[in-house]
């Protein structure tokens, strides 16, 4: 079995191949978009990036399980070594030329989230983390913010655009957060939102509906940068389908309490 440091290097190489491929592609015309579900698009760019990732991971870690948004979204993430891949997190942004999209690769070893890599394609910045090894942007260590006053906080979020039945609940939460902070931002890539929490740019972040590949790598970044990540009910087991709340320890606790009351 490879060490976490070896695995993070594998993930970085896989993400780099995919990011270089994405960066060379023009945004496909709208006629070539496939709508998997309402507001949820996929193109040959997503599929091509995932193929490169799978090729790299399979060659360097034979026998590992690869769970990806386009490749195997319903495959159970079980095995001694499981890769959780989003080849293009922020597809809608990419399609519109909005420079906020990333390649996200997480790795679960023996049931433990151990490796995370988020490659910011537009800025060509690589965020990476290993369990117990800290979180980094290239060679710079990351740390969550130290802000402890909600009225000064900048909070990231994601809209429940695939689950419109949750919109009323979300809008109540949005109003509560807006009324007690200095601002809310929604940029459209959960992987990069979590990287922003890890880097201290966001003081906290929440979203009601995410998939494992949206968050796996970013969760490890936040935790290794000194932050806290749970579901809204408070579980630390977040690598599934559902809610997520992240932030520095003080802001995470405050945001969970506020959202539950909203």
Whole-angstrom distance, CA of residue 94 vs CA of residue 27: 7
Residues 166 and 39 in one domain: no
Q: Report the chain's mean pLDDT, rounded to a whole number.
A: 92
Q: Length of the chain in residues, anyone? A: 262
Domain range holding 198?
Answer: 150-261
Whole-angstrom distance, CA of residue 31 vs CA of residue 240: 32
pLDDT-derived band of residue 118, with 50, 70 and 90 as boundaries? very high
For range 51-63, the mean pLDDT: 97
Tell which residue, 129, 164, 123, 126, has the closest CA to residue 37: 164
pLDDT value of residue 39: 47
pLDDT value of residue 228: 98
Residues 27 and 134 in one domain: yes
In tens, the pLDDT along 128-163 reads: 999 999 999 999 999 999 999 999 999 999 999 877
Residues 55 and 122 in one domain: yes
Residues 181 and 256 in one domain: yes
Residues 92 and 129 in one domain: yes
pLDDT value of residue 162: 78
Our count of domains for the chain comes to 2
CA-CA distances (angstroms) from residue 65 to 2, 33, 53, 233? 15, 28, 13, 29
Residues 17 and 111 in one domain: yes
Residues 21 and 129 in one domain: yes
pLDDT value of residue 4: 97
């Amino acid at each position: 079995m490879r060490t976490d440091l070896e695995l993070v290097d594998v993930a970085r190489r896989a993400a780099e191949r995919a990011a270089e491929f994405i960066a060379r592609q023009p945004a496909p015309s709208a006629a070539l978009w496939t709508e998997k579900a309402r507001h949820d698009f996929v193109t040959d760019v997503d599929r091509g990036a995932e193929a490169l990732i799978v090729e790299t991971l399979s060659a360097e870690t034979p026998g590992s399980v690869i769970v990806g948004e386009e490749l195997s979204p319903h495959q159970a993430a079980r095995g001694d070594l499981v890769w959780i891949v989003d080849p293009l997190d922020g597809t809608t942004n990419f399609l519109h030329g909005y420079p906020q999209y990333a390649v996200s690769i997480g790795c679960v070893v023996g049931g433990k989230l151990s490796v995370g890599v988020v490659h910011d394609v537009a800025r060509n910045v690589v965020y990476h983390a290993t369990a117990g090894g800290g979180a980094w942007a290239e060679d710079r260590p990351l740390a969550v913010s130290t802000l402890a006053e909600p009225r000064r906080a900048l909070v990231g979020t994601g809209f429940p655009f695939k689950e419109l039945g949750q919109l009323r609940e979300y809008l109540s939460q949005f109003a509560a957060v807006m009324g007690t902070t200095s601002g809310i931002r929604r940029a459209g890539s959960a992987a990069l939102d979590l990287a922003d929490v890890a880097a201290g740019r966001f003081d906290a972040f929440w979203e009601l509906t995410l998939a494992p590949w949206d968050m796996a790598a970013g969760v490890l970044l936040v935790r290794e940068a000194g932050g806290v990540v749970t579901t809204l009910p408070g579980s630390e087991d977040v690598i599934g389908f559902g809610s997520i709340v992240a932030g520095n320890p003080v802001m995470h606790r405050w945001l969970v309490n506020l959202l539950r009351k909203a």
